A and B are shown apart, each in its own frame.
Chain A
Amino acid sequence: MVGLNHRTAPVEVREALAVSGADAPTALTRLRGLPVSEGVLLSTCNRTEVYAVGRDVAECERALVDYLTGLAADLHGRALSRDALEPFLYRRQGLAAVEHLFRVAAGLDSMILGETQILGQVRTAHRQAAQAQTVGKVMHQLFHQAIAVGKRAQTETRIGQSAVSVSYAAVELARKVFQTLEGRRCLAIGAGETAKLTVRHLQAAGVRDLVVANRTLDRAERLAREINGRAITLDEVPRVLSEVDVVISSTGAPGYVVTRQQVEQAVRARRGRPIFLFDIAVPRDIEPGVAHVEGAFLYDIDDLEAVVTANLAERQQEARKVERIIAEEVERFRQWAASLAVVPTIRMLREKVDAIREQELARAFNRLPDLTERQREVIAAMTVSLVNKILNAPTQQLKGMAGEGAADEAIQTVSRLFDLGRPAGQPAVEGGGSG
């Protein structure tokens, strides 16, 4: 595997190697010209990585680097020399490459720890490569397992669950007060960028009725059109306060726009239904005393930042569990890859025993010419099942020994016992497969 990501390469380099969905088939077709037997290209806005299987690691890596410079030249018209690209690249071989892909799929290698988008991108990369017919059994196994790792990380840990942006943290907090945001009403006082983003998140979560308040009705109306709401002036805020469930305030006003007294009145009018207020303005718009009003929950920008920090810490904690899952899956892949080494031996063993079976069966039928068709069928079926049952244990044991790292010994023993001779052409895969 050769690649670069947001940590190793600046955006100028990353963009030169970005492969869009439309370019993917062309890019993958070029992979087939390389001295590799299988390959997958994973390209997102934060990373471009090529995974490949080949016989010689050094040769393989050289070819992949050339391939990347070729991509930059052909897709983006950027002349990147090998030497210019070299400092931004990282390489992984064997199981380290496997582990790397698993970490990527689980979101551990992402800019935002534990994000879930990457899993879909890994899935797409695999699908595109499968369509371009550049994947064989190693890459199939590798990517199937990588996708499984991503899913396990999502279902077995909480790594992707808590919000890590201020705007989303606000939505998450509101969800801990209201059972559902479906059909709730929201009031945006002023509309900074964060406020607008938060409103979009709230709308995605089902908030329906949106009111925008501003100093001048004119500006409010413009904003209301932008985020699809109803416009009012600041004077009307106290009246509207009793009708809305979530308030987001982000004006540039020097004093308090919403006072404790107003919120107290609103809560009384709401007959105890809670009201949620986010004050993301500096200086603050909402009187801090509102936090003590029964039925009102007030969060300022520092509180939201603290939530994000806490959630990031939570994700770090969960990342340890994900590491355990990855270690498990890497071990599974190692066993699978090791068992590949004994596949030719197993095949030879089967062929040999099958040949004996057919020979002996033919001889038996010759000596018993009076058998009916039905009797012949039964005897033939019996020999097949005899062979299968006898070979079952050695096959399993061979795979098992290979998984324990004793593949060579197992192959030698079985070859000797059954007089198989040396299996021709050991597979290129060694200790994990991807170079």
Chain B
Amino acid sequence: MTAALVLPMTGSAAALYTLTALAHATLIFRRGFERLASWSTRMAWTLHTAGLALLVTHTGRAPVYSLFEVSMFLAWLLFTPYVYLEYVHRNQSVGAVLAPVAAAVLVTALAAPRPAADPFPGVPPQQLLVWHVGMTLLGYLFFLAAFVAGALYLVQDRNLRRKAFGPIYHMLPSLEWLDRSAGRLVTVGFALLTLGVAAGISFARVTWGTFWHADPKVLFTLLLWLVYGGYLALRQVRCWGGRRAAWWSVAAGAAVLFNYVFINMASSSHRF
């Protein structure tokens, strides 16, 4: 009975996140929708949290066994810190960029197949697999946060250059802080992804006797690994930063989302 509520709740949460995103986007330019933004943020998060809680109590396991569950959880992990920021510090700057990401991840959840009874077909769950999934997803989380920091850098840079001082300008921190934060987030994300990929390779070695499949997901992830590695190398070696770095982290973050949302469909061994 209660499990039937999970889907409508997630659906409304996704719709509300879209509304949140739109309301926040207007704040980049002008005042007027602060209340709508804050109201929709809280409503969306409450529905989302309730849906996730129902799902977990219904299945009785951590929500990491299917794309649906993982997406619910990932979006929740991503959005919860912002709800705190919005509620306690009344700072609405991050929502403009974060809400669309959360909405996208939740829509993926809805489009994905519902939780299967057997999470890993033909493969017994193992320690390595848990590490592989956990580390990679945490890595995604940090990359998406870096995406948000990069996008906010670009918004603030635009504000400063066009001398357009909307409400968000006042709420955003300095460019330098955004730039450094993006760098740190990518560093952590990269380390996690490296661990996740290493765990995945060892798992493939143990299970199938090969190091890797020519799987689209694997290939794309390696590409991401190189992209983020390049980003970090450039930062280290050439004191890189600023607008170009911000564009880089935004593009790479979009690629992470693309990998997560679309490449899964083409992959045989990865359902998420």
Chain A contact residues, CB within 8 Å of chain B: 158, 161-162, 173, 175-179, 271-274, 291, 294-295, 297, 299, 303, 306-307, 310-311, 314, 317
Apart from the given pairs A175-B174, A272-B242, A317-B31, 17 other A-B contacts in the complex at a CB distance below 8 Å? A173-B160, A176-B172, A176-B175, A179-B174, A179-B176, A179-B180, A272-B238, A272-B240, A272-B241, A274-B175, A291-B161, A294-B244, A297-B160, A299-B163, A303-B163, A307-B163, A307-B165
Contacts of A178 in B (CB 8 A): 174-176
Interface residues of B in 169-227 (CB under 8 A from A): 169-170, 172-177, 180
B242: contacting residue among A173, A294, A299, A314, CB under 8 A: A294
Closest Cβ of chain B to A165, distance in Å, is 16
* Residue B156 at the chain A interface, CB threshold 8 Å: yes
Assembled-state Cα–Cα distance A274/B243 (Å): 11
Closest Cβ of chain A to B71, distance in Å, is 34
- Highest count of chain B CB atoms <10 Å: which of A161, A173, A274, A299: A274
Assembled-state Cα–Cα distance A310/B29 (Å): 13
Assembled-state Cα–Cα distance A176/B244 (Å): 18
A314 touches B170 (CB 8 A): yes
26 contacts between A and B (CB under 8 A): A158-B170, A162-B170, A176-B156, A176-B159, A176-B175, A177-B160, A177-B174, A177-B175, A177-B176, A178-B174, A179-B173, A179-B177, A272-B238, A272-B239, A272-B240, A272-B242, A274-B175, A274-B176, A291-B161, A294-B242, A297-B161, A299-B163, A307-B163, A311-B165, A314-B170, A317-B31
A271: contacting residue among B165, B174, B238, CB under 8 A: B238
Closest Cβ of chain A to B238, distance in Å, is 7
Number of interface residues of B (CB under 8 A): 23
Contacts of A297 in B (CB 8 A): 160-161
B170 touches A274 (CB 8 A): no
Closest Cβ of chain A to B241, distance in Å, is 5
Contacts of A317 in B (CB 8 A): 31
Contacts of B170 in A (CB 8 A): 158, 161-162, 314
Main secondary structure of the interface of B (DSSP, over half): helix
Closest Cβ of chain A to B237, distance in Å, is 11
Assembled-state Cα–Cα distance A177/B163 (Å): 13
Assembled-state Cα–Cα distance A174/B106 (Å): 38
Closest Cβ of chain A to B68, distance in Å, is 40
Closest Cβ of chain B to A108, distance in Å, is 19
A274: contacting residue among B165, B180, B238, B242, CB under 8 A: B242
Per-position contact with A for B150-172: 1 when CB-CB < 8 Å, else 0? Answer: 00000010011101010001101
A176 touches B240 (CB 8 A): no
Per-position contact with A for B237-264: 1 when CB-CB < 8 Å, else 0? Answer: 0111111100000000000000000000
Quick one: closest B residue to A155, CB to CB? B90
Closest 8 CB pairs of A and B: A271-B239, A179-B176, A179-B177, A179-B174, A310-B165, A177-B175, A303-B163, A178-B176
Closest Cβ of chain A to B93, distance in Å, is 12
Assembled-state Cα–Cα distance A271/B241 (Å): 9
Closest Cβ of chain A to B17, distance in Å, is 26
Quick one: closest B residue to A291, CB to CB? B161
A-B contact number at CB 8 A: 51
Closest Cβ of chain B to A173, distance in Å, is 7
Contacts of B165 in A (CB 8 A): 307, 310-311
Assembled-state Cα–Cα distance A272/B173 (Å): 19
Contacts of A291 in B (CB 8 A): 161
Assembled-state Cα–Cα distance A295/B18 (Å): 34
Assembled-state Cα–Cα distance A158/B90 (Å): 11
Assembled-state Cα–Cα distance A179/B241 (Å): 14
Quick one: closest B residue to A295, CB to CB? B242
Assembled-state Cα–Cα distance A1/B168 (Å): 41
Known contacts A179-B180, A272-B239, A272-B240, A306 near B163 by CB under 8 Å: yes
A176 touches B163 (CB 8 A): no
Contacts of A177 in B (CB 8 A): 160, 174-176
Interface residues of B in 116-163 (CB under 8 A from A): 156, 159-161, 163
B238 touches A294 (CB 8 A): no
- Highest count of chain A CB atoms <10 Å: which of B159, B163, B172, B177: B163
Assembled-state Cα–Cα distance A271/B242 (Å): 11
Quick one: closest B residue to A317, CB to CB? B31
Contacts of A314 in B (CB 8 A): 170
Contacts of A310 in B (CB 8 A): 165
Assembled-state Cα–Cα distance A178/B172 (Å): 12
Closest Cβ of chain B to A91, distance in Å, is 37
Quick one: closest B residue to A276, CB to CB? B160
Assembled-state Cα–Cα distance A194/B212 (Å): 66
Assembled-state Cα–Cα distance A173/B161 (Å): 11
Assembled-state Cα–Cα distance A410/B239 (Å): 76
B174: contacting residue among A158, A176, A311, CB under 8 A: A176
Contacts of B31 in A (CB 8 A): 317
Contacts of A294 in B (CB 8 A): 242-244
Quick one: closest B residue to A175, CB to CB? B174
Assembled-state Cα–Cα distance A362/B240 (Å): 90
Interface residues of B in 80-115 (CB under 8 A from A): none
Assembled-state Cα–Cα distance A314/B170 (Å): 10
Assembled-state Cα–Cα distance A291/B163 (Å): 11
Assembled-state Cα–Cα distance A303/B242 (Å): 22
Quick one: closest B residue to A304, CB to CB? B163
Contacts of B243 in A (CB 8 A): 294
Closest Cβ of chain B to A428, distance in Å, is 42
Assembled-state Cα–Cα distance A272/B180 (Å): 13
Contacts of A274 in B (CB 8 A): 175-176, 242
Closest Cβ of chain B to A56, distance in Å, is 46
Assembled-state Cα–Cα distance A272/B244 (Å): 10
Contacts of B239 in A (CB 8 A): 271-273
Closest Cβ of chain B to A20, distance in Å, is 37
Contacts of B174 in A (CB 8 A): 175-179
Assembled-state Cα–Cα distance A399/B174 (Å): 51
B242 touches A176 (CB 8 A): no
Assembled-state Cα–Cα distance A176/B93 (Å): 14
Closest Cβ of chain A to B158, distance in Å, is 12
Quick one: closest B residue to A161, CB to CB? B170
Quick one: closest A residue to B181, CB to CB? A179
Contacts of B180 in A (CB 8 A): 179
Quick one: closest B residue to A292, CB to CB? B161
